[in-house]
Each structure stands twice: as structure tokens, then as C-alpha cells.
């Protein structure tokens, strides 16, 4: 269990990255969903002992992250959004080097660890290839392999599927799903579909605040019967926004489909829409923005 209690962080330039964040994250996949700049990476870096919070507490299985960072690092695997430099040495040799840095000094033990990780991440056939020549998906799978050295109990992956093609993305998500069966795995992303497909529990973060949390199924159920859709002209969207609570719009077959949140049918031409996590995401962010405007 990872417990985050009243965590806050403001950078020297005055940017408030985290504001009173509290979460309980159990074993399994946990989605942290939010737009760019919402505070996701700041929260991941704090959990990973890469920066100190101004206030608050983070514990992993009862171990205080701030008081015992070395103990946490022994149980932590981290794949940051910008994963280092990809050297012109083989995946096998790089993993061997990283295992040595993590304290595995017996050569045979390292060989066994590296082979197991290469098999787990489906990189065995590419083990002698330079990482610099890997595709985006292979690089991310290598990133997971290095994060798994030492069998950590907490895995953090920050925006892992950004830039991957659909096939590489599916392969990577399947790998994460397998890993998440017996570890705490935090998937930090702005891609709603990744959370929908993988995570039984999630939270939405905006402006450094947790604005919603629960299971995707529960959060979606709260919008059943309240989301309405209609195809409109692109130039009509703004007029609908001025009159209705339009939570999202997207193009489809040359028309613009708007989703409106309302307890009753808004106007003629609207049909009831079966909500999904994307509707939850946009409705939550919009409500958060409205509260901020009112407070200002």
C-alpha cells in the first residue's frame, strides 16, 4: 500500500505543483489522469524521492519516503517521462551494468536477472542490439526492464505510451497489466483510454489538486442519464457553449459531435449518450475550472 497524505509542493519560481494531495494506492494498476502541467510528474518525482515536498507524508508499506529514501529506492522502479540517453551499447550489456549499480555483484546472478527481464519484456531477440537503434516501443519496454531490476514493489511509469504507434502501445500496456498483478503500479498519463483499459482504481489531478478519485466504473456510473450528444456545424459550437454545459466536442465524418452534461434533454436533436471515462474526465476538469473561476 502506498499512502500519500496532505502533500504540497511549490517551486522557487512560485509555481504551485501540488496542493494538499492525499491518496491511498493499493496493489495493482492505479491510473493518475490529468492534462499536461497538472502536477502528475511533480507527484511522481516526489514519490520517487527525487524531490522533497514542502509538507505532507508519503509512506510505502509503512516506510516514510522522506525519512528513509534509500529503503524506498530499494523497493522502487521508475520509468520517467524523459528516460535518459540511449547509449550505443546493447540492451543486454546495459541491463547488466544497471544491475551492478543496484548492488548485484555476482556475475551469474546478474546474468540470470538480465535474461529474465529480457524475456519478460520480449526483448530477448534484440538483446545484442544497441538501445540507440530501438523503436519507441522497444525503448519503453527496455525502460520497464530496467525499472524491474531488484523486483521492486512499487513501479512508477510517467506518460509511457506518448508517441507510440498502436501496436507498440498495446504491447506495452499488456506488459504493464501483467506486472500490475502483484505490485503497486502507478500509470501517470493524459491518455484516458490507457486508464480505461488497465486501471481498476484511478484519480484525476488538475492544478496540483486531486479533483476526483475512485474506480472508472463508479465514476462513469455517476454520469449515466446525464450526457447528451448532437452533431452540429463547427461554427455552431460556440453558441451551444454559451447556452449549455458542453463538456467536449470532436469531429466525426465531417461534423462536430458535442457532448452536453444535463439532467434533462437540452434541446431537440440531442440523444442520450452512454458515458465513458472521457466524459468523466472532461466533465471533472470543467467543473474544477468553474470552481476556480468562481473562487477568483
Cα 245 to Cα 283: distance, rounded to the nearest angstrom: 9
Same domain, 123 and 175: yes
- Give the model's pLDDT for residue 295: 61
Same domain, 228 and 204: no
In this structure, are residues 118 and 91 in contact, taking their beta carbons and an 8 Å threshold?
yes
In this structure, are residues 199 and 230 in contact, taking their beta carbons and an 8 Å threshold?
no
Same domain, 266 and 165: no
Burial class (CB in 10 A: 0-12, 13-18, 19+), 93: middle
Same domain, 35 and 120: yes
Which range scores top for mean pLDDT: 70-84, 182-196, 254-268, 273-287? 273-287
- Give the model's pLDDT for residue 296: 54
Same domain, 174 and 236: no
Say which range, 48-52, 82-86, 106-110, has the weakest mean pLDDT. Answer: 82-86
Average pLDDT, stretch 51-80? 91
Structural domain total, the chain: 2
Same domain, 155 and 251: no
Same domain, 78 and 143: yes
The pLDDT tens digits for 116-158 are 999 988 899 999 999 888 888 888 889 889 989 988 999 999 8
Cα 215 to Cα 166: distance, rounded to the nearest angstrom: 25
Same domain, 15 and 70: yes
Residue-range definition of the domain harbouring residue 245: 221-295
The pLDDT tens digits for 156-214 are 998 888 778 888 888 888 888 888 888 999 999 888 988 998 999 999 999 999 999 99
Say which range, 38-42, 226-230, 248-252, 253-257, has the weakest mean pLDDT. Answer: 253-257
**Domain closes at, from 214, 236, 263:** 214
- Give the model's pLDDT for residue 197: 87
Residue 87 has pLDDT above 90, yes or no: no
Average pLDDT, the chain: 90
Confidence band of 292 (pLDDT split at 50, 70, 90): low
Residue 72 has pLDDT above 60, yes or no: yes
Q: What is the CATH number of the domain that holds 45?
A: 3.40.50.300
287's grid cell: 467543473
73's grid cell: 529506492
- Give the model's pLDDT for residue 163: 77
Same domain, 243 and 173: no
Cα 291 to Cα 296: distance, rounded to the nearest angstrom: 9
pTM: 0.88
Average pLDDT, stretch 87-101? 90
**Domain closes at, from 156, 187, 214:** 214
Same domain, 13 and 90: yes
In this structure, are residues 242 and 190 in contact, taking their beta carbons and an 8 Å threshold?
no
- Give the model's pLDDT for residue 143: 87
Same domain, 86 and 34: yes
Same domain, 262 and 283: yes
More confident residue, 295 or 58: 58
**Domain closes at, from 184, 214, 244:** 214
Amino acid at each position: 500500500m502506498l499512502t500519500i497524505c496532505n502533500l504540497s509542493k511549490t517551486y522557487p519560481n512560485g509555481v504551485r505543483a501540488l496542493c494538499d494531495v492525499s491518496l491511498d494506492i493499493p496493489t495493482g494498476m492505479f491510473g493518475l489522469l490529468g492534462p499536461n502541467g497538472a502536477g502528475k510528474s511533480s507527484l511522481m518525482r516526489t514519490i520517487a524521492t527525487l524531490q522533497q515536498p514542502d509538507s505532507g507524508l508519503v509512506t510505502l508499506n509503512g516506510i516514510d519516503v522522506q525519512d528513509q529514501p534509500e529503503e524506498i529506492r530499494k523497493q522502487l522502479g521508475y520509468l520517467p517521462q524523459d528516460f535518459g540517453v540511449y547509449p550505443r551499447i546493447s540492451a543486454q550489456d546495459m541491463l547488466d551494468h544497471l544491475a551492478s549499480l543496484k548492488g548485484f555483484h555476482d556475475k551469474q546472478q546478474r546474468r540470470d536477472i538480465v535474461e529474465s527481464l529480457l524475456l519478460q519484456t520480449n526483448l530477448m531477440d534484440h538483446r545484442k542490439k544497441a538501445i540507440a537503434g530501438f523503436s519507441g516501443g522497444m525503448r519503453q519496454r527496455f525502460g520497464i526492464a530496467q525499472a524491474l531490476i531488484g523486483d521492486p514493489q512499487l513501479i512508477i511509469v510517467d506518460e509511457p505510451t506518448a508517441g507510440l504507434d498502436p501496436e507498440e502501445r498495446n504491447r506495452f500496456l499488456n506488459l504493464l497489466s501483467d506486472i500490475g498483478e502483484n505490485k503497486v503500479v502507478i500509470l501517470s498519463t493524459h491518455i484516458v483510454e490507457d486508464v480505461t483499459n488497465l486501471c481498476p482504481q484511478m484519480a484525476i489531478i488538475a492544478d496540483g489538486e486531486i479533483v476526483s478519485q475512485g474506480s472508472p466504473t463508479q465514476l462513469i456510473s455517476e454520469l449515466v442519464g446525464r450526457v447528451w450528444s448532437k452533431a452540429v456545424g463547427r461554427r455552431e459550437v460556440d453558441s451551444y457553449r454559451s447556452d449549455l454545459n458542453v463538456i467536449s466536442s470532436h469531429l466525426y465524418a465531417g461534423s462536430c459531435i458535442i457532448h452536453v452534461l444535463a439532467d434533462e434533454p437540452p434541446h431537440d436533436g440531442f440523444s442520450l449518450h452512454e458515458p465513458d471515462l472521457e466524459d468523466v474526465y472532461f466533465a471533472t476538469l470543467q467543473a474544477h475550472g468553474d470552481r476556480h473561476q468562481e473562487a477568483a
